[in-house]
Amino acid sequence: MGQVLDRVPSTRRGQVVTLTGAAIAWIGLYWLNEHVWDWLLYGALGLHSTDRVTETIHFFLYDTAKITLLLIGIIFVVTVLRSFMSVERTRALLGGKREGVGNVMAAALGVITPFCSCSAVPAFIGFVAAGVPLGVTMSFLIASPMVNEIAIGMLFSLFGLKVTIVYIAAGLVVAIVAGWILGRVHAERWVEPFVFETRLGGQAIDPAAGLTMDQRIQMGVEEVATILRKIWPYLLVGIGLGAVIHGWVPTDFFTTYAGPGSTFGVLIAVAIGIPLYSNAAGIMPMVQALYEKGLPMGTLLAFMMAVVALSLPEMILLRRVLKPQLLALFIAVVGTGIVAIGYLFNYLLA
């Protein structure tokens, strides 16, 4: 029929110019955000920076712009980089790997493989049917949502390198150990039988292969739009709560009630975090404000991990392939791991 693509792929030079222009615009906006609110609120409108309400509004406006800019930059870069990786490639890398080494590799690959929760079930079946051990598959499924690249980028921007490394290391350890334990207890009997009966077709194609740079950039732009459209209400509520906490909760309030020495702080944080379902990016402003008021980093990391790693929608999806016993064990093992991480880091980072 002789149909041709509407868009002729742009030249390499055109791509470089576009991306450089976008990067400069991003840096300019980020810089502007540092100054524009002072100018607007205190200069043009003549409000006083000592006034608490004004200060709260300032915090809200500044943080909304800052977090949005960070998200746009991070999601775009992460999506373009991740488009070189795929679940299919990960499975090929994990095929034939034994437990132990396999768990470590699966957890690491879980971090860099592009993955949405709606692909959890096909990936699970695909891995198990291809002979990847169940425990190794679970390490992948735990690490994938828990150590999220967007969360890594946000943590690094807001809290610095040390906290970021701690977060990545802690998430990997939980995924490796939890997967290894689930492999040890011979959980195969708690997997829905149809998983083992599923025949894999032979014509799988690798979505990461054969994409043009133009398509990868396009994917990055679309992913930014999709995620922002999905999380903006959570983001605004999160930043709003963050602004209120920032302006109105007395300093060291949490140190008194949930400081590093607190017995139940981490447990309560994880218990609150499990039913909460949010993108890691959506809860970051709140985490930042809570940290400012003396809530220890271990408790906050535990809270974040509970929110992103154990969510009701994902549990409902996984129920299709896991029997209730294994699902309960999965939640218990991951939950315990997160609590342990929380206490450990409260102790280490105190």
Count residues binding another protein (CB under 8 A). Answer: 40
> Is 3 among the residues that bind another protein (CB under 8 A)?
yes
> Is 198 among the residues that bind another protein (CB under 8 A)?
yes
Q: Which stretch binds another protein (CB under 8 A): 146-154, 273-281, 296-304, 317-325?
A: 317-325
> Is 194 among the residues that bind another protein (CB under 8 A)?
yes
User: Which token pair is 160?
Assistant: 């610095």
Question: x/- string (CB under 8 A) for another protein, residues 95-114?
Answer: -------------------x
Q: Which stretch binds another protein (CB under 8 A): 5-13, 146-154, 163-171, 239-247?
A: 5-13
Contacts of 266 (CB under 8 A, 6+ apart): 298, 299, 302, 339, 342, 343, 346
C-beta atoms surrounding 199 within 10 Å:
6
> Is 87 among the residues that bind another protein (CB under 8 A)?
yes
Using CA atoms, how far apart are residues 43 and 55, in angstroms rounded to an integer? 14
Q: Which stretch binds another protein (CB under 8 A): 102-110, 178-186, 192-200, 324-332?
A: 192-200
Closest by Cα among 317, 238, 326, 310 to 275:
310
Using CA atoms, how far apart are residues 276 and 320, in angstroms rounded to an integer? 21
Q: Which of residues 252-311 bind another protein (CB under 8 A)?
A: none
In angstroms, the Cα distances linking 57 to 46, 237, 272, 273, 325 are: 14, 14, 27, 27, 48
Token pair 């957890």: residue:
107
User: Which token pair is 100?
Assistant: 């132990």
Closest by Cα among 45, 68, 58, 33 to 228:
68
Q: Which of 56, 64, 86, 144 binds another protein (CB under 8 A)?
A: 86
Using CA atoms, how far apart are residues 167 and 126, in angstroms rounded to an integer? 29
Nearer Cβ to another protein, position 123 or 178? Answer: 123
Using CA atoms, how far apart are residues 344 and 350, in angstroms rounded to an integer? 10
> Is 246 among the residues that bind another protein (CB under 8 A)?
no
Question: x/- string (CB under 8 A) for another protein, residues 110-139?
Answer: ----x-x-xx-xxx-xx--x----------
Q: Which of residues 199-238 bind another protein (CB under 8 A)?
A: 199-205, 207-208, 218-219, 222, 226
Nearer Cβ to another protein, position 209 or 350? Answer: 209
| Contact residues for another protein, defined by CB under 8 A | 1-7, 86-88, 91, 114, 116, 118-119, 121-123, 125-126, 129, 194, 197-205, 207-208, 218-219, 222, 226, 317, 320-321
